[in-house]
Chains A and B, each alone.
Chain A
Amino acid sequence: MTDAESFDEYVRSRLPMLARVAYLLTGDPHQADDLVQLALLRLASRWEHVSAAREPDAYVRRILYTQHVSWWRRVRREALPVAVLPERAAADFAGETVTALAVREALGRLAPRQRAVLVLRYFEDLSEAETAAVLGIAVGTVKSQTRDALARLRVIAPELSGSLVEVNR
């Protein structure tokens, strides 16, 4: 199998998952698209090394999270004018779908690293050590970021407060 073929196979198998992670991180379908494409471009440029080390997932994940933080740092300096103030999802305890929408909207109001920690820990189901390795931070920082993120979610999404419990693994 050539490098191009093995890369295509990897992309086919992992693309849906990568798209979901990117969407959770950015909260925007277009930015999520850009983020995934950029990550795959970089992966393609270093495919021999990354595939030889059998760590393409870790490499792509790291690009997704670091690039997302990098974009956020640049965009936050610029005010983005909008004609109509965006509506916020209101609490509606009718069902899980509404809760999911509330979570997505609440994620968007977290700091990017807090958002990344939550996605890695509760969506990708990584341990604290694995999360620390992906983000390139200390395990203690992962713990504090998780704690702070959950605390903030309880404030901005009180409908979730009953279910937000910090998990230590």
Chain B
Amino acid sequence: MSETLREALRRAAESAPAPRLDGQVWRRGRRRRRVRRTATALAGVLLVAGLAAVPGLGTGGAGLQTAGGPVPGVLGRPYPWQLTYEQDLNGPVAAAFVDPHTVYLAATGVLVGRDGSYRLFPMDPGEDLGFVSPDGRYLARRSEIVDLVTGRGIPTVDRARPLAWSPDGRRLLLVLDRDDGVIEQRSGDLDEVAYFDLDTGGVKAVLFTAADTPAGAFSPDGERVAVTTGEAGRPQTLTVVDLVSGTPNILFELTDRQRLAGEAAWTPDGRSVMLVAADGCVWASCEVGPDGLWGWRLQYVDPVSGKFVDEAAPARQGRPRGLVGWRDGKPVFVDQRGAQDPARLVIAEADGSARVLLTLALGASELNVPRDLVEHGTLGSRTANPLDAPLWAFAAVLACVVPPLLMVMALRRRRRAVRALRGSGVGQGAGADDLRAEGGDTVA
């Protein structure tokens, strides 16, 4: 045993001066406790407030809801810093839409994967997002088709705009502008409606005509197409073209209150082509002033004779953006009345009512759901994950948080060091004030 050391330590300790206590230790300790608790509560409140302020956090849905259930699915908006599809591919997708508020400042495409992941699809200003193929694998855009599984771009025809996918997803109906996109069309410069074959990579012409605001739809068997063509501001002509024979069947001119229902305008049995007819405003002005649209109705057109009949249902409400599929024999529309209203995927019931399958968070638009999912799939709620972010986003957060934190730590360390030095000086023991200032010190 090291008794000498023990004894020496004991004797050294005996020379310790009598401790000075100001009698307020308990009171000051309790104050310290109150300050600590208040700071903790404040930090908690700030954290919650900060999280609530994160854009898009509150727009996500809670839990998965089936389309057939009483509550429709909800698609939340992405976080502005979300990964792009090129950084981490998430195809095939379950939905696509356009969001105006991302780090790209302009409207940006958003791809929602089958696994619920969100990816941004940056676009040039004024560009359309395009059409998602029925299986969700491809995104048809101007001049190309983007494979969302591999990220590869498949060129179609320069400046060709997509109109509709065939139900099997192997053909894409296109329109080729001949007006150079700048000057008014000259006589003789006819636009070309054609289709791109994904298997062969070839393009086959369907129709040569003026097509400033065209729309089109493949028949269920993929052997016919219905297209509406014409010059802007003039009546549009509905034509059905047999793709096998190449024979066009010009049916009739639409009024300005009629238009092709959408990409899935053919009824599942292939016996009718659907139009949507507006009550109130003409479609062109309904785009500007949606309040002028009192209602709308479906019309069934015979693709051979061109005769059409109105549906039996009374005027439907909302504003149909496109017929995108058929579920249980009923047409499914994307409906969005105005920019201030949420886009919805709805079933147009026979009695004129609408059953909501999916709602897009307010502020987003151009909802696009693959046709296979619309017709046979489960449409669940999806919420973006804020951590699906590129490295630069994490670096930016660190760059904002770390320097002030380091500065505060350095200042505190220096303050304590100065105080400790002052306290170590002979005859300069720390007084009550010094100790009071010590309040924020930390020890493991």
Contacts and interface: CB of A to CB of B under 8 A. Distances in A.
Contacts of B9: 24, 100, 103, 118-119, 122-123
B14 interface: yes
B429 A34 contact: yes
A139 interface: no
Interface residues of A, number: 66
B441 interface: yes
B215 to A, nearest CB: 72
A70 interface: yes
A20 B14 contact: yes
A138 B41 CA distance: 35
Interface in B301-342: none
Given A20-B13, A31-B423, A123-B9, A41 B2 contact: no
Nearest to B3: A163
B32 interface: yes
Contact of A43 (B8, B21, B29): B29
A30 B429 contact: yes
A33 interface: yes
B430 interface: yes
B34 to A, nearest CB: 9
B5 interface: yes
B424 interface: yes
B10 interface: yes
Interface in B22-37: 25-26, 28-30, 32-33, 36
Interface in A90-113: 96-97, 99-104, 107
Contact of A38 (B33, B36, B435): B435
Interface of B: 1-21, 25-26, 28-30, 32-33, 36, 413, 416-417, 420-421, 423-430, 434-435, 438, 441, 443-444
B435 A34 contact: yes
B231 to A, nearest CB: 81
Contacts of A162: 4
B284 to A, nearest CB: 73
18 contacts: A11-B21, A20-B14, A30-B423, A30-B430, A37-B25, A41-B25, A43-B29, A44-B33, A45-B30, A75-B420, A96-B7, A96-B11, A99-B4, A100-B10, A101-B12, A102-B8, A122-B6, A165-B2
Contacts of B420: 31, 71, 74-75
Contacts of A100: 7-12, 15
Contacts of B428: 30
B5 A118 contact: yes
A31 B339 CA distance: 69
Nearest to A79: B421
A33 B28 CA distance: 16
Interface in A6-32: 7-8, 11, 15-16, 18-24, 28-32
A96 B8 CA distance: 7
A46 B13 contact: no
A24 B12 contact: yes
A49 to B, nearest CB: 11
A44 B387 CA distance: 42
B30 A44 contact: yes
A163 to B, nearest CB: 3
Most buried by B among A23, A100, A125, A166: A100
B15 to A, nearest CB: 8
Contacts of A150: 2
Most buried by A among B12, B30, B32: B12
Contacts of B16: 19-20, 22-24, 29, 32
A2 to B, nearest CB: 10
A7 B26 contact: yes
Interface string A136-151: 1000000000000010
B441 to A, nearest CB: 7
Contacts of A165: 1-2
